């Protein structure tokens, strides 16, 4: 028997980490790979590349409810977050930055850097047991010294537990004092309705590989009237906010992916929510003491985050991987040392509880058979993980 024959069918349940490219994105990307032309050049090839970029910008703007000139292309979500946080902080010249304690590290690490190197006064706001921002804590923090607040950053939806944040309340409080709001919408786009203009935020982060587009391309959507200090200086591309040769093929793929994701969002929401609910119910039937994490009502449709008492999340992950099922612990790793999820800790979970959780995230390729495979495997996997924990404790 060949190794290939022994390899179990792979069940991919980690779409929150990255999701397969859609056919439309692949076609758009590959269709430009053999075309030569720098979009900044004035000759015919350059003008053709520029036309592809600007048409892509228009398609993204239409899908997001913003103006084309508000779409600033970046290398992905991390760069866009850094550009928003550092660029707005430097442009505003006010010391205080407010954010939630459950932000992605692409937000938390730049904030830490600004505090350490630029004198920023960063305040991480508390969340409730479901991972939702405590709005009154935000209001109190703002009103303590509103003139000193240069920026508020609150993610649209949490990448680990899927909880949706009350952005409308955040914008309401911020607008009373003229404070700009940035939101990391990397997980939200294509999963829930995202309308930049209607949301009232001033800057929004998105990335291609979370919506079926290419790796290494994303955007910061930022209102034209908002001043942003660039991180990278050079040719002055992208409104002089983000210099660098524009990646025409990747941008074409990004536009196609965003367009498909937004058009399919309503139908996919219902389909994925039904699959997720089935997954959670059946796992809890097999493992009765499993505990779902996150807001049961205000959440992303494809996120299922569960705690398995008496288990190490890393052990569960590897045991499932051996069965051909791919998921995530949702926890950060620093220099190869596993750490308890800062999101779960902020939600009031203990270290042990935070380490015993898994995230199953569904996407456009997920089918019922994937859920069936997980449910069939999870019982024995949990038993093995618990037995291993008991043996380690006895040794």
Segment 44-79, tens digit of pLDDT: 999 999 999 999 999 999 999 999 999 999 999 999
Q: For 60, how many CA atoms within 13 A lie in the half-sphere containing its CB?
A: 33
Q: For residue 305, give both structure tokens.
A: 């985050």
CATH number at residue 12: 3.90.1150.10
Do 13 and 51 lie in one domain? The reply is no
Domain's final residue, options 260, 288, 323: 260
Name the residue range of residue 365's domain: 3-20+265-394
Q: Say yes or no: 125 and 54 in one domain.
A: yes
Predicted local distance difference test score (pLDDT) of residue 4: 41
* Residue 206: pLDDT over 60: yes
Residues 363, 251, single domain; the answer is no
Q: Which helix (H) or strand (E) holds 199?
A: helix 196-199
Active-site residue, 333 included: yes
Where residue 237 sits, what CATH number does that domain have? Answer: 3.40.640.10
Per-residue pLDDT tens digits for 36-47 = 999 999 999 999
Please tell me the predicted confidence (pLDDT) of residue 3.
Answer: 45
Out of 195, 226, 260, a domain closes at 260
Number of domains in the chain: 2
Write the pLDDT tens digit of every residue in 107-142.
999 999 999 999 999 999 999 999 999 999 999 999
Higher pLDDT, 7 or 252: 252
Contact indicator for 206, 186 with CB cutoff of 8 Å = yes
Choosing from 66, 284, 327, 333, which is the catalytic residue? Answer: 333
Q: Quick check: 332 pLDDT over 50? A: no
Residues 41 and 11 grouped into a single domain? no
Please indicate, yes or no, whether residues 275 and 247 belong to a single structural domain of this protein. no
Tell me: do 255 and 269 sit in the same domain: no
At residue 176, does pLDDT exceed 70?
yes
In this prediction, residue 333 carries a pLDDT of 47
Give 106's contacts (C-beta < 8 A, 6+ positions apart). Answer: 77, 78, 81, 82, 184, 205
Same domain flag for 200 and 288: no
- 327 and 236 both lie in a single domain: no
Looking at the structure, tell me whether residues 184 and 306 fall in a common domain.
no
Are 13 and 49 within one domain?
A: no
The answer on pLDDT for 393 being more than 70 is no
Segment 178-192 mean pLDDT: 98
Has residue 282 got a pLDDT over 80? Answer: yes
Query: Which pLDDT score is estimated for 149?
Result: 98
Query: Whole-angstrom Cα distance, residue 152 to residue 125?
Result: 10
Q: What is the pLDDT of residue 339?
A: 81
Q: How far apart are CA 9 and CA 244, in angstroms?
A: 42
Q: Is the pLDDT of residue 234 over 50?
A: yes
* Element housing 275 (H / E): helix 248-286
Q: Quick one: 221 and 362 in the same domain?
A: no
Higher-pLDDT residue of 1, 107: 107
């Amino acid at each position: 028997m060949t190794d290939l024959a022994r390899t179990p069918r792979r069940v991919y349940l980690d779409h929150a980490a990255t999701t397969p490219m859609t056919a439309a994105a692949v076609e758009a990307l590959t269709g430009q790979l053999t075309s030569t032309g720098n979009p900044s050049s004035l000759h015919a090839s350059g003008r053709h590349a520029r036309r592809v970029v600007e048409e892509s910008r228009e398609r993204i703007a239409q899908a997001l409810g913003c103006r084309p000139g508000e779409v600033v292309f970046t290398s992905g979500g991390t760069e866009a977050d850094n550009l928003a946080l550092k660029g707005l902080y430097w442009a505003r010249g006010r010391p205080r930055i407010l954010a939630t304690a459950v932000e992605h590290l692409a937000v938390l690490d730049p904030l830490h850097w600004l505090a350490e190197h630029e004198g920023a006064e960063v305040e991480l706001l508390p969340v409730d047991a479901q991972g939702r921002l405590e709005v009154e804590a935000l209001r109190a923090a703002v009103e303590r010294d509103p003139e000193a607040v240069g920026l508020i950053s609150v993610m649209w939806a949490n990448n680990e537990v899927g909880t949706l944040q009350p952005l409308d309340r955040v914008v309401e409080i911020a607008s009373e004092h003229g404070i700009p709001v940035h939101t990391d919408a990397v997980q939200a786009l294509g999963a829930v309705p995202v309308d930049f203009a209607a949301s009232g935020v001033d800057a929004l982060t998105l990335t291609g590989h979370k919506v079926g587009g290419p790796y290494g391309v994303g955007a910061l959507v930022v209102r034209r009237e908002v001043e942003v200090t660039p991180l990278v200086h050079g040719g002055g591309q992208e409104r002089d906010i983000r210099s660098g040769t524009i990646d025409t093929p990747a941008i074409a793929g990004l536009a196609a992916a965003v367009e498909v994701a937004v058009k399919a969002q309503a139908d996919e929401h219902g389909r994925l929510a039904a699959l997720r609910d089935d997954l959670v119910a059946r796992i809890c039937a097999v493992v009765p003491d499993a505990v779902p994490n996150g807001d049961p009502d205000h959440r992303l449709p494809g996120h299922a985050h569960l705690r398995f008492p008496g288990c190490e999340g890393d052990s569960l992950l590897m045991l499932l991987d051996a069965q051909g099922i791919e998921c995530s612990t949702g926890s950060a790793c620093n220099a190869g040392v596993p750490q308890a999820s800062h999101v779960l800790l902020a939600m009031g979970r203990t270290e042990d509880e935070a380490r015993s959780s898994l995230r199953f995230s569904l996407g456009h390729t997920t089918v019922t058979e994937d859920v069936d495979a997980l449910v069939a495997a999870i019982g024995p996997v949990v038993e093995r993980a618990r037995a291993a924990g008991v043996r380690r404790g006895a040794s």
